[in-house]
Structure 1
Amino acid sequence: MATNNMNMDGMMLFEQPFARVPYENYRKVFRTSQKNIEKELSALQTTANDLMKRARAGEGSPEEALKAVEGMIKRTEILKRKLAELQNASGLPTLSVTRERLEHLSTVESITSANGPEFARWADTRLDRWLVDWALRNGKEKTARSIARERGIETLVDIDLFSDIRRIENALTRQSCTEALAWCSENKAALRKVKNPLEFDLRLQEFIELSRIRNLMEAIAYQKKHLIQWQDTHSAQINQAAALLAYTPATAFGPYKRLYDTARWTSLVQSFRLAIYNLSTLPTEPLLHLTMYAGLASLKLPACYDHETKNVDCPVCDDSFGALAKEVPFSHHVNSTIVCRLTGRIMDDDNWPMAFPENGHVYSKEAREI
């Protein structure tokens, strides 16, 4: 670790999602592989035990036993092919991305000064990553891909992840839960672990849509198949939604009218976004905003919002950055620093503060020479 004026702990705090995203992706590949192996091995074990029992009982012909063994071999070959395809399509690329990202982070540990060209290059790459992250979160995927390609940082950004997020969000905007439910199925264990109700909310919405078009028989069947299993934790919502079978969107009132409100789709988009950000260990705010918050919090003063004392060189005094700075607390300065509003320079022993006798306004000595 570098032992200079660089705050490595603070820098690495911002880089946690950068390293965790490919790690979580590989965990998903591992879980999928493990599930396939357990499923196929269980089937093979069942077939082998059945063969053993029939052999001991003297049942079955050699041809039937041979056919069963060939079936076991075929299942094993299919499993091998599935695992190889999964590893080549997702496993090895994810490992490569993880390796490159860790190497990118390790380079900063050997940098001895924040003022040197090595850190400047690393910081430029970091800024490019944050710009790509901001573009992806704001639906500007073409811009993000263009920046990543021009800067050569395709493996250092999560374009594919945000592309999937945008695809599922667009489907929800079109009032389709299919893609989101498929994602919930792939991440069922993780969602259950954090007690996230997204899958139930999606299932409930599909029931509501069946009630909206008055397909009542299918709605009842859907409720029995997909909602009853949530009875222990969401009984009140299920019982309330069941009343939609008796109310149309035109006759519904109170809570039943709110269930028919199409604004629920917007809430589902937000719920899905929070769920996938949580599972992918991504912050809900763009990393660019988080770093700007940190910088603005160290500069923000009450004077920044005084129209008469604004400093042209202060980011917080700027109207655009000032709006972002409203989200952060004022900075805490043990010792005051006085800055000349004319020159933007700090007033100290070499640049004395001087006051006009007429109005008492204070300016720096250097301002006298302007």
Structure 2
Amino acid sequence: MAAELTSIKLNPESHIILDQPLLRLPNDLARRNFKSVQRSVEREKEYVIPALKEAANASLSNTQTPDQTLAALDAMLSRMQGLKRKMQSLQEEEKRIQNQSRKRIQHLEALHKIPSLADVKYDQWSRVRLDRLLVDHMLRSGYSESAKQLAQERDIEDLVDLGVFTQCQRIVECLRQGETKEALQWCGENKAALKKSQVWKTTTLKEIGPGILIGLVQHNLEFELRLQQYIELVRSRDQTKKIEAIAHAKRYLITNQETQNKEIMRAAGMLVITPDTRAEPYKTLFSTDRWKYLSDLFIKTHHELLSLPSQPLLHIALSAGLSALKTPLCHSAYASSSSNSASTATSVCPICSTELNDLARKMPYAHHSKSYVEGDSIVLPNGRVYSKSRLLDISRQVGSVEDGKVKDPTTGEVFLESDMKKVYIL
């Protein structure tokens, strides 16, 4: 009885490993919101304090008329009112993030109050988590409206990141349509965080070696977006556009010469290369497939910046269970009985199912410390393994099999007993 209770005892720590992004993202958003408040206050302070001193000195020295002084004060008041409106908006955002964090903490705290896996409260908690994983998967797949409806129906809007993924998907769609404005605006809003991340990567790669700096190009989203703008200007083959492209390169590309020198040299060569060229790397640079590359790069940069997993949480959760069930036969040349129309049995193996087979392909095989294989195991010519005594008993019970032959109970195939081979497990 004690062993049974131990087996169903709930270990909350092992459950919340998957839920780290649940608290990490609101924390990152709250920190960003605070940084926005700090920047706004400092920017207005740098303007207002000197302007106020200047107006006071001018008033005392009679270098300005009263009307000019009042106009200067009105301008300062106008800026302060604008700052107040912005601060109110940021305060509302902070309250929303705090409320979201509170509900997420309560959701995770509820797990620590559940004593065992058999408790009905655990079923309810697991259902909420499943709904969260489904919403996350739909958001990453681009089904924003369906995800929103499911979140509203289940009342879990504060437990999922609708706004973050909706914004991400909107920018991705713009990139796939050949527009960089939204993505560049996002880069501008997150310039400090991107710059900090870029500096860290540059330092790390330099410590490894100068040759590995090539990998840095794939992570510099803003540079790649500016490079694409340059490519579109060059693609037109208009002399005026080429002059604009040169000015664009001097303003946005040359500043990255230290880390992107190779790409800048290639960009310079595009001025004398036609868009229909077959020479690499110019063929790839002129290709419209670069828009898909940019959208994928944006998703990767967006998720890294917000500490979001690169894969849907549903896939991560499924992978753990799939790995525990996976065997070499699941991806062998001999398919499961579920794909065999002549089968006399139905496979219940989720690894062999059409829906999950590809997802489980890269998962490690299950590790069993104790073998459950019977000692008289044999393998049939079709690759299936059975207990010899059980297989002979089944063949006798069927009755339609001739002496000296056995029937595969799964596929219905008939083989000679001499075709059976002994299985040796090392």
Q: TM-score, normalised by structure 2?
A: 0.75
Q: Which runs of 5+ in 1 are unaligned?
A: 340-351, 364-370
Q: Tell me by how many angstroms 1:309 deviates.
A: 8.0
Distance 2:70 2:355 in 1: 76
Tell whether 2:234 aligns with 1:199.
Answer: no
Task: From 345, 351, 368, give the equivalent of 1:333.
Answer: 368
**After the TM superposition, which of the residue ranges 295-304 and 126-135 deviates more from structure 2?**
295-304
Q: Tell me by how many angstroms 1:304 deviates.
A: 3.4
| 1:1-370 equivalences in 2 (<5 Å) | 5-51=9-55, 54=58, 59-61=63-65, 63-88=67-92, 90-195=93-198, 196-213=219-236, 214=238, 215-251=241-277, 253-305=279-331, 307=334, 312-337=347-372, 355-357=390-392
**After the TM superposition, which of the residue ranges 308-317 and 152-161 deviates more from structure 2?**
308-317
Distance 2:150 2:42 in 1: 42
State the match for 1:343 in structure 2.
none
Distance 1:305 1:32 in 2: 52
Q: Is the 8 A contact 2:135 2:150 kept in 1?
A: yes
In percent, how many aligned pairs have the same letter?
35
Q: Tell me by how many angstroms 1:321 deviates.
A: 2.3
Q: Tell me by how many angstroms 1:332 deviates.
A: 1.2
Q: Tell me by how many angstroms 1:79 deviates.
A: 0.9
Residues 62, 7 of structure 1: CA spacing in aligned structure 2 closer, same or farther, 3 A cutoff? same
Task: Read off the aligned partner of 1:22 and give its amino acid letter.
Answer: P
| DSSP-derived class of the 1:10 partner | helix
Q: Deviations over 1:229-256 (max 9, x none)?
A: 2122212211210122222213573222
Task: Read off the aligned partner of 2:351 and give its amino acid letter.
Answer: V
Q: Deviations over 1:63-105 (max 9, x none)?
A: 54444334333322221121112322x2222221121111111
Q: Is the 8 A contact 2:59 2:66 kept in 1?
A: no
Task: Read off the aligned partner of 1:197 and give its amino acid letter.
Answer: N
Q: Tell me by how many angstroms 1:260 deviates.
A: 0.7
Q: Tell me by how many angstroms 1:35 deviates.
A: 1.2
Q: Deviations over 1:272-317 (max 9, x none)?
A: 0001111121111111110110111112122434548878233223
Residues 258, 324 of structure 1: CA spacing in aligned structure 2 closer, same or farther, 3 A cutoff? closer
Task: Read off the aligned partner of 1:68 and give its amino acid letter.
Answer: A
Distance 2:119 2:243 in 1: 71
Q: TM-score, normalised by structure 1?
A: 0.85
Distance 2:259 2:335 in 1: 57
Residues 74, 8 of structure 1: CA spacing in aligned structure 2 closer, same or farther, 3 A cutoff? same
Q: Tell me by how many angstroms 1:174 deviates.
A: 0.8
Aligned pairs, number: 348
State the match for 1:342 in structure 2.
none
Higher relative contact order (CA 8 A, sep 6+): 1
Task: Read off the aligned partner of 2:223 and give its amino acid letter.
Answer: F
Distance 1:359 1:251 in 2: 66
**After the TM superposition, which of the residue ranges 3-12 and 187-196 deviates more from structure 2?**
3-12
Q: Which runs of 5+ in 2 are unaligned?
A: 1-5, 199-218, 338-345, 375-386, 393-403, 410-426
**CA RMSD of superposed structures (Å):** 2.8
Q: Is the 8 A contact 1:202 1:268 kept in 2?
A: yes
Task: Read off the aligned partner of 2:143 and give its amino acid letter.
Answer: K
Q: Tell me by how many angstroms 1:322 deviates.
A: 2.8
Task: Read off the aligned partner of 2:90 and give its amino acid letter.
Answer: L
Distance 1:183 1:53 in 2: 42
Q: Tell me by how many angstroms 1:164 deviates.
A: 1.0
Task: Read off the aligned partner of 2:24 and give its amino acid letter.
Answer: R
**Structure of greater Rg:** 2
Q: Is the 8 A contact 1:355 1:361 kept in 2?
A: no
Task: Read off the aligned partner of 1:327 and give its amino acid letter.
Answer: K
Q: Deviations over 1:323-358 (max 9, x none)?
A: 32111101111112359xxxxxxxxxxxx9963557
Distance 2:133 2:335 in 1: 35
Task: Read off the aligned partner of 2:320 and give its amino acid letter.
Answer: A
